[in-house]
Structure 1
Amino acid sequence: MNSKVAIAASELTLPRGGVTEYFELTKARVVLMVLVTTLAGFYLGGRSGFDPMLALNLMLGTALCAGGTLALNQFVERDTDALMERTRHRPLPEGRMRPAEALAFGSIATAAGFIYLLLTTNLLCALVTAAITVVYLGAYTPLKRFTWMCNVVGAIPGALPPVAGWAAARGNVAAEPLVLFGIMFLWQLPHTFAVARMYRADYARAGIHLLPRDSAHGGNPSNAVVIGASLALIAVGMMPTLLGFAGLPYLVIGTALSVGMLVFGYMMVAHPDRPQAARRLLLASLIYLPVVLLVLVLDRV
Structure 2
Amino acid sequence: MHLLPSALQSAVVLCGESVFLEYFEVPFDSNMNRTKNRPLVRGQISPLHAVSFALACGVPGVALLTLAVNPLTGFLGALNIFLYTCCYTPLKRLSIVNTWVGAVVGAIPPVIGWTAATGSLDPAALLMGAFLYSWQFPHFNALSWNLREDYSRGGYRMMSVTHPDMCRRVALRHSVALVGLSCLGPAAGLTTWTFPLVSLPINLYISYLALRFYHRADRGSARKLFFCSLWHLPMLLLLALTCKKPAKEQSGADLPSANPVPS
TM over 0.5: yes
Retained in 2: the 8 A contact 1:200–1:211?
Answer: no
Report the count of equivalent residues.
245
Q: Which amino acid in the other structure matches residue 192 of structure 2?
A: G
% identity of equivalent residues: 27
- Which position in structure 1 is the counterpart of 2:205? 260
Q: Which amino acid in the other structure matches residue 240 of structure 2?
A: L
Residues in 1 aligned to 2:190 and 2:86: alpha-carbon distance in whole angstroms: 35
| Secondary structure in structure 2 of the residue aligned to 1:93 | helix
Query: How far apart are 1:247 and its partner, in Å?
Result: 2.6
Q: For 2:60, which of 86, 102, 112 is the aligned residue?
A: 112
- Which position in structure 1 is the counterpart of 2:227? 283
Retained in 2: the 8 A contact 1:148–1:212?
Answer: no
Residues in 1 aligned to 2:172 and 2:242: alpha-carbon distance in whole angstroms: 29
Q: Which amino acid in the other structure matches residue 138 of structure 2?
A: P
Q: For 1:142, which of 90, 93, 103 is the aligned residue?
A: 90
Q: Structure 2, unaligned stretches of length 5 or more?
A: 246-263
Q: Which amino acid in the other structure matches residue 150 of structure 1?
A: N
Q: For 1:95, which of 18, 43, 66 is the aligned residue?
A: 43
Residues in 1 aligned to 2:162 and 2:49: alpha-carbon distance in whole angstroms: 40
Given the two structures, how large is their TM-score scaled by the length of structure 1? 0.78
- Which position in structure 2 is the counterpart of 1:239? 184
Q: How does 1:13-162 map to 2 (within 5 A)?
A: 51=1, 54-162=2-110
Deviations 1:48-94 (A, max 9, x none): xxx3xx11110111011001110111111111111100011110111
Residues in 2 aligned to 1:213 and 1:295: alpha-carbon distance in whole angstroms: 35
Across the aligned residues of Structure 1 and Structure 2, the Cα RMSD in angstroms comes to: 1.5
- Which position in structure 1 is the counterpart of 2:155? 207
Which stretch of structure 1 is more off in the superposition, 245-254 or 261-270? 245-254
Q: For 1:227, which of 158, 168, 172 is the aligned residue?
A: 172
Query: How far apart are 1:140 and its partner, in Å?
Result: 0.8
Indicate yes or no: 2:250 matched with 1:250: no
Q: Which amino acid in the other structure matches residue 184 of structure 1?
A: L
Residues in 1 aligned to 2:188 and 2:88: alpha-carbon distance in whole angstroms: 32
Query: How far apart are 1:213 and its partner, in Å?
Result: 4.8
| Secondary structure in structure 2 of the residue aligned to 1:184 | helix
Query: How far apart are 1:294 and its partner, in Å?
Result: 1.4
Query: How far apart are 1:223 and its partner, in Å?
Result: 2.5
- Which position in structure 2 is the counterpart of 1:187? 135
| Secondary structure in structure 2 of the residue aligned to 1:241 | coil
Q: Which amino acid in the other structure matches residue 6 of structure 2?
A: L
- Which position in structure 2 is the counterpart of 1:31? none
Q: Which amino acid in the other structure matches residue 86 of structure 2?
A: G
| Secondary structure in structure 1 of the residue aligned to 2:199 | helix
Q: Which amino acid in the other structure matches residue 114 of structure 2?
A: W
- Which position in structure 2 is the counterpart of 1:294? 238
Deviations 1:219-259 (A, max 9, x none): 61222211221222210122113444313443233222211
Query: How far apart are 1:214 and its partner, in Å?
Result: 6.3
